[in-house]
Amino acid sequence: MPGAEILPLTIASRTEDGLAVLELSGTLTLGPHLASLRRCVRETLDSGKVAGLVLQVSGLTAIDSSGLGELTVVYSHVTKRKCPVLLVGVNPSLRNMLEMTHLDGLLPAAADMNAAKKHLKRVSA
């Protein structure tokens, strides 16, 4: 869209019921802000024991192949730490990208935060 403002990636993190929740907003695209997701995940996991990681992605306005690549790096990092990860708020465009690249198997989505909490508590028990 010509003239549309590209918002950099912003990440708000919190812990809920022993789960790390990262709310992503803006763009998950090639650029200087892309590596901030990896850093935030690493810091979150290093800060204490978490039973799982929820990436709330409903605030993303754009994602490209570099953004998908960054999500796979996050997946690799958290699984090495034996920490399950779920996406929440996946829009149809992102869902299509995940399915086309077969990343939907690695990065499953939950319908909402309550479903994500139930799923992660089950798999981490």
Structural domain count of the chain:
1
How far from 104 is each of 17, 33, 42, 55, 62, CA to CA, in Å?
25, 24, 22, 14, 18
Asked if the model's pLDDT at residue 115 lies above 70, the reply is yes
What pLDDT, on a 0 to 100 scale, did the predictor assign at position 125?
65
Residue 58 predicted with pLDDT over 80: yes
49 occurs within a structural domain: yes
Helices (H), 21-110: 35-46, 65-80, 92-100
The answer to the question of residue 8 being in a domain is: yes
Within-domain flag for 45: yes
Separation CA 20–CA 51 (nearest Å): 8
Domain annotation covers residue 5: yes
pTM beyond 0.85, yes or no: yes
pLDDT of 111 reads: 92
Judge whether 79 and 45 are in contact, CB under 8 Å: no
> What span, in angstroms and rounded, lies between the C-alpha atoms of 18 and 48?
10
Is residue 69 in a domain? yes
Tell me, what's the pLDDT at 6?
66
Average pLDDT over every residue of 55-83: 95
pLDDT value of residue 1: 42
When pLDDT is averaged across residues 63-76 and rounded to a whole number, the result is: 96
Residue 10 covered by a domain = yes
Is residue 1 one of the residues assigned to a domain? yes
Residue range of the domain that includes 78: 1-19+38-53+64-82
29-33, 36-40, 52-56, 83-87: which range is least confident on average? 29-33
Residue 32 is classified by DSSP as T
